[in-house]
Structure formats: structure tokens, C-alpha cells
Amino acid sequence: MSAPRSDALVFFGASGDLAFKSIFPALQGLAATGQLDMPVLGVARKEWTREDLIARARASIEAAGVFQPEAFDRLSANLHYVKGDYASPSTYAEIRARLGSARRPLHYLAIPPSMFEHVIRGLAEHGCANGGRVVVEKPFGRDLASAQALDRVLHQYFRERDIFRIDHYLGKEPVQNLLYFRFANTFLEPIWNRQYVERIEITMAESFGIKGRGRLYDELGAIRDVVQNHLLQIAALLLMEPPVGQDPEAIRDAKGQAFRAMRPLDPAEVVRGQFDGYRDEAGVDPDSDAETFAALRLHVDSWRWAGVPIYIRAGKCLPVSATEVFVTLKRPPLAVFEDVPVAPPNHVRFRLSPEVLIELGTRAKRAGEGNLGEEVNLDACRNTVHAVPPYQRLLGDAMRGDQTLFARTDAVEASWRVVEPVLVNRPPLHWYKAGSWGPDAANRLIEGGVWHDPAATISSAPEPAATR
């Protein structure tokens, strides 16, 4: 039985950076596909009128280069503005009045996490939570204790099935394709285990720095910013067992099991780095201990993956901007041909950005006499120009009550348990030169001392935007 569709959208933080970069374009996309025939209330503290909100929405959509006159007219006809302090009861009284006959509103909290409790309680006290849903942005807490505290507040007024923890990375087409490719193709499953996989590497490299996010980034660091959420989510998609059934909870059950199998990190197997010049950035503490680079070895205590090292690294000011998964397969059990033992082993590579690519690394006989081979990569590339943008997809899913691409509370807590040891017992900070692949200590972390280099295969595709 499908969930009832939301009949209104209230988004807090209408004047903020996230709304400008991502939410307004997503709302126009939903309007263009007929999914936004409902009141849309933007809430912020600025002394704006409804016309100011519409002007802001238009500026946002034009800046994104996706302006569609007819779709924007449909969006602007439904836009309304509520000016108010998030701590003031009068703000929520006005929201309830503006909602009119709507009884299943979706509340999107595009605001700092410090304001979540104020807003959630305000909505509940004025009848806006009854029958409603709530979307909260990452980070879901700063550690396990704060994540659990946030959940206690959420569950006091909303059922788990009405809580949508949004990580826009899960709405990206290439990330969803990991799950699809694994379970829609029969050739991969028989070798997707410890018997055939030597190791897995997940890299999220960014050639740029913090781009004006100094104050915010300095409070997070790379582990909180992308490892605990984005990269562990990717790991879960790679490691999970086949879901039992097709409903959203079956997929989330399988992901939750994968998270629970991840062993808490050993600080001795985590390398933190900070690029030279980071402390000179605006908003950064001159004595900052925040890492702009993190590399780690993850152990998975499951029958399928026991003993297979999972290496994860992420960093700013690295040589390229690229996110990819590189799976190295074990060598054949017997060297029939003399060149095989010294040749690179087979691999499976998922390039998630800047282009989308799936590559099978194989060997084939070289033309001519003798049994000598050469590397032959079988590539499948995809153009994602027409893919549904992540926020548009996720907001549309939340309005329908589809939680497939949203984080469940048990998975969130399990991911915090994985990183908790290095938040409490922080490994030493190593300096690295901007434009390098991070501190040398990261190379000593990996078996053989050599990470796969995405720069060796990266295309000339444009770099992705810095937003997350």
C-alpha cells in the first residue's frame, strides 16, 4: 500500500545558501513534472515579501542555468513567504494558518542543526507535525551521542516512517547505479566476495580547497564532512547482501546489516592530514586541528567480506577532482602464462564523478607469436546530463513517502559507531602539500604502499561543483 502524498511543503532556511544553490532549482524541476501542485512556504528571518522570495527563486534558477518560464510560473504561483524567528511561537502559528486545509505537510529543515530542536518543537506545539513529515539535512549529529539526542527529539513528535534524513549524495544517479549494477547482473555476484576480491578502494578527491566554508568546515573536518556519511554509504552499497524483497525497508535492512558488520575504526589505521595554507583561510582557527584529508582501513566482520581490506580516502587540494571505487580481484590460482604473475590483476572500477564510468580490467592475448598478453579495459560510459538532480529526486520521494534513498536511524547510529574511536582518540595530524595525494603516511597504510591513482585514467570532463 502506497503512502499518502504530502499536500504542502514548508522549507526553513529559504534565504540560505543551500536554498539558493539546490532547493529552488529542485522545486522548479518538480513543478515542471507536475509534482508540486501544492502550497510551498519559504520560512526565513529576512524582512522579505512574497515578491522578494519569488525574485530570489528566479535568481537562483537562472544562476543554475535551468530556467524554464512555464515551470517557474507554476512554482511562483504556489510560493508564499513566512518571516519569523525560529524560536518564536508566532512563527509557527502563522505557518499553521498559511497551510490552510493542508493536513500532510512536508517540513524541510535546511537550517543549522543547532536549530532543529526549536523548529521541531514549534511545529509540534502548533499542530503542524500531526500527519506531517520532516526532512533533516546532514550532519545527523556530531557524534553518536548527539545523533541519538536528535533522534529522541524527532521521535517524540514524528514516527520513523515520517522522518527523512537527507544525504543528497544518495540521490546521485551514479551512486544509485552501484546498487543496480550489483544486483541486476548475474556475472558479478559469484565473484563479489572474499574468495575473489583482494581489496576495495574508495576515493573522493577534490582539487579545490574549502571555498569559503572555513568556519563550518573547521567544525567538521573530512571525517565528519564526507567519510561518516557519503563514503560509508558507498561502502554499504558495495558490501550489503541482496535485499529480501523489493520494498524500501528491504533495501534499508540490507544496508543496515552492512553498517553493523563494519568494525569501529582503529586510530592506528587512520591517517589525518591538513594541507599547507588551510589555517590561513577565512574563518579557520589559526591553531586548527581539523583534517582536510583522511585515509583509513576498514574491516568488515561478515562471512562475505572477512579479511578483505576496505581502504577509504578523501581530501581537499588533491591533484584531481574524482570520486571512484576500485575493486582489485585476486590473481588466477595458477600461472598458465609467464607474464600473468607480474601483470596488473583484474579489476572493477566505478567512476562516480566527474564522469560516470564502469570499467572491467581484463587481459587478452597480444597479437603475434607467443602467449603474451596486454591489458584490455572494457568500459561503459554514461552521459548524465539528463539525469534527475539529487535534490529534485529526493524531495519528490519524500513527498511520496518513499524512504529508499534516505538514511534510517539504525544505519546513522552504526556509522557513528564506526568513526567514534577516531573522534575521541584523534590520530596525529600530518601536513601535506596542496596538489599532492596527501601525507606520505597514507601510503604506509595500504598494503603494498600504492593506492590506485584516479588521475591516471581521468577524462577531460569538467570538475564537479563544490556543493554537498
Helix, strand, coil shares of the chain, percent, nearest 5, are 40, 20, 40
126, 230, 347, 452: which one is catalytic?
Answer: 230
Say how far apart CA 31 and CA 25 lie, in whole Å.
10
Helix (H) or strand (E) holding 272: strand 270-275
Burial of 143 (0-12, 13-18, 19+ CB in 10 A): middle
Burial of 302 (0-12, 13-18, 19+ CB in 10 A): middle
Residue 54 CA to chain centroid, in angstroms? 29
Using an 8 Å Cβ cutoff, are 73 and 37 in contact?
A: no
Q: Which residues of 35-66 are buried (b: 16+ CB within 10 A; e: fewer)?
A: bbebbbbbbbeeebeeebbbebbbebbeebeb
Say how far apart CA 32 and CA 58 lie, in whole Å.
14
Q: In what order do the strands lie in the sheet with 79-83?
A: 79-83, 40-44, 8-12, 105-109, 133-137, 163-166
* E-state strands within 276-355: 293-298, 310-315, 322-329, 347-353
Strand partners, 360: 348, 378
CA dihedral 88, 92, 94, 99 (to 10 degrees): 170
For residue 265, give Cα distances in angstroms to 5, 33, 123, 144, 258: 41, 44, 38, 14, 15
| 118 carries an active-site annotation | no
DSSP 354: S
Q: Which long-range contacts (CB under 8 A, 24 or more apart) does 344-350 make?
A: 344/375, 345/198, 348/188, 349/324, 349/325, 349/457, 350/174, 350/177, 350/178, 350/181, 350/324, 350/325
Q: What angle do CA 204, 393, 14 make, to 5 degrees?
A: 90
> Residues with Cβ < 8 Å from 212, sequence gap 6 or more?
282
- SS3 assignment, position 205: strand
Type of residue at 167: D
Say how far apart CA 229 and CA 140 lie, in whole Å.
9
For residue 225, what is its C-alpha cell? 564532512
For residue 413, what is its C-alpha cell? 547510529
> Which residues are known to be catalytic?
230
